[in-house]
Amino acid sequence: MAALGGDGLRLLSVSGPEPEPESAALNGAGPGLCCWVSVCSCLSLACSYVGSLYVWKSELPRDHPAVIKRRFTSVLVVSSLSPLCVLLWRELTGLQPGISLFTLMGFRLEGIFPAALLPLLLTMILFLGPLMQLSMDCPWDLADGLKVALAPQAWARCLTDMRWLRNQVIAPLTEELVFRACMLPMLAPCTGLGPAIFTCPLFFGVAHFHHVIEQLRFRQGSVGSIFLSAAFQFSYTAVFGAYTAFLFIRTGHLIGPVLCHSFCNYMGFPAVCAALEHPQRCPLLVGYVLGVGLFLLLLQPLTEPRLYSSLPLCLLLDRTGASATSLCS
């Protein structure tokens, strides 16, 4: 992107009356080189994540329990090792954030309760229309639905369902860890926080193109329809990735993006066409519009940084001398 190589990467200042020269602060690495290191590190993470899904040779489809279990193993290994990539990036660029690696990646207790609840609430407001549609089509009333949802037997079935574990637990946790918690700290000093929100999801969106390989392999549609579906999925995942990147920066926590990711995986893409043909179309459309309107109205207040204490990425930019943005206040 054009943002790469911009003024997002200022160099580390050392306490004292005189700032240390740029070359000394970065151990001889210039801004251009640091940006290349950041982009290459993110690209290697994305390739490693997707590549880990294909280390197992199998003729079975991706939804087969045996395939899912094997991929759990490889993707968890890659995700567990991904913080090492951030450590290597820090050594190559010479940047010293002044905070621990885990804090920088959103693993911290300070402000964790609002960071878990408010982003999820905000996302549920956005999905007001689909949630209304789901409740209208549900065969149970509210009381029976809550009994089913809270029943231990229902959760036991979920925890033994490999597809549920993949979509609601493993994928949200590992994808947000790799594509947000690891990539954003590396991109932000190079591009600045604003451009990083839109740069980071590109890696996330491209990483989902591997589904094309399996769809072509198992002939799950015509070539044109498969690539059209892939283009739509890239657009949707890129927009969603920008949203969770925004949440990660504004809250300084990983838990919010993970919970929102899991919720969106459960809801899927809003069935707007089905809503237009629904017997209760008018209230549903009102719900869709009201949800989007309330989401836009509450986006800034519910992600107000003061609710979540200090923001690690903003502290990182302060240490590198970059000017603060509206995302930090």
- Enzyme catalytic residues: 175, 208
**DSSP track, 70-88:** HHHHHHHHHHHHHHHHHHH
Q: Which residue has the tokens 């008018």?
A: 282
Cα gap 34→187, rounded to integer Å: 10
Nearest C-alpha neighbor of 99 from the set 325, 324, 329, 309: 309
Neighbours of 9 (CB within 10 A): 27
What span, in angstroms and rounded, lies between the C-alpha atoms of 194 and 208? 23
Nearest to 200 by CA among 2, 32, 39: 39
Number of H helices and number of E strands within the chain? 18, 0
Q: Quote the CA–CA distance of 293 and 285 in Å, as a whole number.
A: 12
Q: Tell me how far apart the alpha carbons of residues 34 and 91 are, in angstroms, rounded to a whole number.
A: 11
How many of the other CB atoms lie within 10 Å of CB of 289?
12
Structure tokens, 23: 């070359």
d(CA 112, CA 32): 36
Distance between CA atoms of 251 and 27, rounded to whole angstroms? 31
Taking the alpha carbons of 37, 102, 178, 2 in that order, is the dihedral positive or negative? negative
Count of Cβ atoms closer than 10 Å to residue 243 Cβ: 21
SS3 3: coil
